[in-house]
Amino acid sequence: ALAASAAEAISSAVLLPAPIPPQAPAAAPAFESPQVTVRATCGDLDLDVQLTLSVVGRRVDTFANLLADLSTAVQNGDALSVKQAIEVKAFELAVQKRAQLRKEQHAFYAEMQRAYEGICETFLRAKRDYYREIDHLRCQLSHRQRLSQAELERVVFFDPDTYKVPKWEDIADRLELRRWDQCSAEGKSRARAMPIFLRCSRCGAKAGPGRSDSSLDEKESAEAETQTEAVAVEAASD
C-alpha cells in the first residue's frame, strides 16, 4: 500500500523548470563617429575613387561646417585611420601615375602629329616639284625636237624613301632619348659639393695646385673649400 501510494504521488507530481540565473543588462552600443564618403572622378585621367573618412569630434550641424572640418581633419590626420591612410596613399599614387601616363600619351601623340605634318608638307612640296619637273620635261622634249642630237637630263618623279612614315617605335625611342637628355641636363644643373677631407689624394691633386696629402690632413670645413662638379665628374670618369 505504501509503495502504491508513493508511485501515485510521483506520477502526479509536476516537474518545475530549473531556475534561470540573473543576466547582466545589455551594454549600450558604443557611439560611432559619422562617416563621410568622398568621391573623386575625372574622365581625362580615367579615375573613379571614393574614400570613407571618419569625422572625429567635429561639427556636423551644417554642410559648410562639415566640409571645413573635414578638410582640416584630413590635413591634420585626425580623420584617417591606418587603413584609410593606406587608401589615401594608394589614391595619391594612382593619381600621379595616371597623370604621368596622360602626359606621356600627350607627348607621343604630339610627336605623331608633328611627324604627319612633316609628311603633308613633303607631299605638297613634292606636288610642286612634280609640276615643275613636268614643265622642265616639256622644255627638253621641245629642245629634242629641234635638235635630234641633244642629250636629255635624267628626271626622277618619285622617290619612295621621301614618303616613308616613321614607325611608332622610332617615335617612342626618339622621345625616350629626348627625356634622357632632359634628365641629364637637369642633373648637371644641380650643385653638388664634397668636403676636401673626404676626397682621396688623387682627387685632391686634381682639385688644383697646392693641394697635397698634408693639406688634406688639416680637415678643413666644407664651407672653406669644396670639390666642384667638374672635378667630381672627372674623378668619376677615371
Which of 97, 117, 132 is the C-terminal boundary of a domain? 97
Over residues 167-190, the pLDDT tens digits come to 878 888 888 888 888 777 766 655
| Residues 213 and 145 reside in one and the same domain | no
Instruction: For residues 31 and 33, give the distance between their C-alpha atoms in angstroms, rounded to a whole number.
Output: 7
| Residues 108 and 168 reside in one and the same domain | yes
Question: What phi, psi does 226 have (nearest 5°)?
Answer: -130, 160
Q: Is residue 74 assigned to a domain?
A: yes
Q: Is residue 238 assigned to a domain?
A: no
Question: Range with the lowest mean pLDDT among 49-58, 95-104, 214-223?
Answer: 214-223
Residue 44 burial by Cβ neighbours in a 10 Å radius (0-12, 13-18, 19+): exposed
Write out the H or E segment, with its range, that includes residue 144.
Answer: helix 82-146
> What domain range is 65 assigned to?
35-97
Q: What percent of the chain has a predicted confidence (pLDDT) above 70?
A: 41
Which of 48, 73, 97 is the C-terminal boundary of a domain? 97
> Which pairing describes strands 47-54 and 226-227: parallel, antiparallel, or unpaired?
unpaired
Over residues 29-70, the pLDDT tens digits come to 665 666 777 777 777 777 676 667 666 655 556 667 766 766
| Residue 235: closest CA among 212, 209, 204, 198 | 204
Cell triple for residue 220? 678643413
Which of 97, 119, 137 is the C-terminal boundary of a domain? 97
pLDDT bin (cut points 50, 70, 90) of residue 116 is confident
- The reported pLDDT for the residue numbered 236 is 46
Write out the H or E segment, with its range, that includes residue 226.
Answer: strand 226-227
Residues 6+ apart with CB under 8 A from 56: 33, 73, 78, 79
Domain count, the chain: 3
First to last CA, the chain: 124
Q: Is residue 25 assigned to a domain?
A: no
Q: Is residue 24 assigned to a domain?
A: no
| Residue 123: closest CA among 92, 165, 88, 152 | 165
| Residues 57 and 123 reside in one and the same domain | no
pLDDT bin (cut points 50, 70, 90) of residue 218 is very low
| Residues 149 and 121 reside in one and the same domain | yes
Over residues 155-169, the pLDDT tens digits come to 666 666 766 777 878
